Amino acid sequence: MNRNSILAIVVSISILCLLGAASTESPKLPGARAGIHAADFPSIQAALDAVPEEGGVVILPPGTFEISEPLVIHQSDVSFHGSGSSTHIKNVNESGQPAIVIAHQGHTRNGNDRQHELWRVRLANFRISGNANSGDGIVAYNVNEIFVDGISVSYHGGDGLKLSFCYEDPRIVSSLITYNKKVGVNLIGCHDIVVSSNQFEENQDGLHCIDGYNLCMTGNCLDDHLGDGVVIENTYGSVVSGNMIEECQAAAVVMDRDCYGNTVSANVIAHNGAGVDLRDAHGCAISANTFTIMQSDAVRIGPNSGRIAVSANAFSDSYIGEGSLKRTEDDRNAAGMVLSGAKDVLVSSNAFTGVRPTAISKASSDGARAAFTGNLFVDTATDVESETMSGSKSSAAGNFSIRPIE
């Protein structure tokens, strides 16, 4: 067989192989749409604008991307993904503009506009920063089922993350929210909310939940806020549980403006300016929390609050056994509980140890009605007596005191 014949056979076999491969190639998945890679566009906004009406995914590459005006997402079913902290959107605007706005094109961006809503927008896996003169980091208006996952939001002149009337099922998880001049996460008019496994550091306040309901805030770490940790107003059916709240300059948790039916449970509340401050709250439970070395009023129940159960909490100083205290002499404040004209309060099965100046103080007895049962007082004084309190319509029974202060 000559050389030309061999070459012809090889070419024929190659063609047959290619034809065979083509005939067995899987067809394109029906309904599939390609991802939009921002690296292929002149700007991030151009990539977002390329999302088709039915939605899609925009993928950000690693890099630092400076923006001077807000990025806008105006469609439903959009996923906006980065490559972790190596993807950094940097807002250099200094006229109070936010970095990212998520809103329907027809939204007024003012109040609750249920006629112009979006659904199912996700932000994930990138870093976004601002400056002292920029606005909010991320702001969303009437976006249902918004999902914020693995985002770092820092150094904004406004809020880190603001959700305005994101009515149905907002979720904020596994994110880092730090050094924002206003509120880390500001939830306005939101319902059925999950805030879980996030870290909040040195914002003005950590989180606000205003005019909403069903906040489930669990497993977060809040540290070093310049104001309050968690502020809940005009909200019911909510739980703040399993969080660590430390060294807020003001209160760890505030409830105000007609709150009812909320629970604060199983949190560590440590070394804050104050602890749980019930300013206007009813039908709430404060249970199984650890209040340690609080600077003032570990729990305060004010005159506009009532029908409150306070049980199984530990109020303590820095005692570590054998008469030793961990903290130095100038850092030994360890406050207890204050009832300031509150009505219908049950205080039971709590441990008050080494707190000053009193374990339970009745700042005002006007109209107060309270029952104190089964509490332990160690190395502390208390206004709670073993019999009905004179003029206060309160009762105390079954409490146990060891080494009270003289």
The CATH number for 56's domain is 2.160.20.10
Banded pLDDT at 322 (limits 50, 70, 90): confident
pLDDT score, position 325: 81
Banded pLDDT at 113 (limits 50, 70, 90): confident
365 and 236, same structural domain? yes
Number of domains forming the structure of the chain: 2
What is this structure's pTM?
0.89
Range of the domain at 70: 34-179
372 and 328, same structural domain? yes
Of 21-35, 118-132, 358-372, give the range with the top mean pLDDT.
118-132
- Assess if residue 324 is contained within a domain: yes
CA distance 263 to 250: 20
Q: How many CB atoms lie within 10 A of CB 405?
A: 13
226 and 166, same structural domain? no
223 and 291, same structural domain? yes
pLDDT score, position 7: 52
273 and 167, same structural domain? no
Q: Where are the beta strands (DSSP E) in 82-170?
A: 87-91, 100-102, 118-119, 121-129, 138-141, 143-144, 147-154, 161-164
- Assess if residue 25 is contained within a domain: no
Give the Å distances, CA to CA, from 233 to 23, 83, 164, 350: 65, 36, 15, 27
- Assess if residue 272 is contained within a domain: yes
pLDDT score, position 303: 92
Average pLDDT for 87-109:
95
165 and 216, same structural domain? no
- Assess if residue 22 is contained within a domain: no
Banded pLDDT at 157 (limits 50, 70, 90): very high
pLDDT score, position 385: 58
pLDDT score, position 391: 46
pLDDT score, position 15: 47
pLDDT exceeds cutoff 80 at 363: no
398 and 294, same structural domain? yes
Better pLDDT: 110 or 255:
255
- Assess if residue 190 is contained within a domain: no
Banded pLDDT at 45 (limits 50, 70, 90): very high
CA distance 305 to 283: 9
283 and 135, same structural domain? no
230 and 375, same structural domain? yes
- Assess if residue 130 is contained within a domain: yes
- Assess if residue 16 is contained within a domain: no
User: Comparing C-alpha atoms, which of 88, 89, 91 is closest to residue 68?
Assistant: 91
Answer whether 315's CB lies under 8 Å from 352's CB. Answer: yes
Answer whether 227's CB lies under 8 Å from 205's CB. Answer: yes
221 and 163, same structural domain? no
302 and 399, same structural domain? yes
The answer to whether the Cα torsion of 208, 154, 48, 34 is positive or negative is: negative
Banded pLDDT at 393 (limits 50, 70, 90): low
CA distance 390 to 142: 53
Banded pLDDT at 369 (limits 50, 70, 90): confident
Banded pLDDT at 27 (limits 50, 70, 90): low
CA distance 368 to 371: 10
Give the phi and the psi of residue 23 in degrees, each rounded to 5: -75, -20
Residue 25 has which token pair? 């190639």
Q: How far apart are the first and last CA of the chain?
A: 116
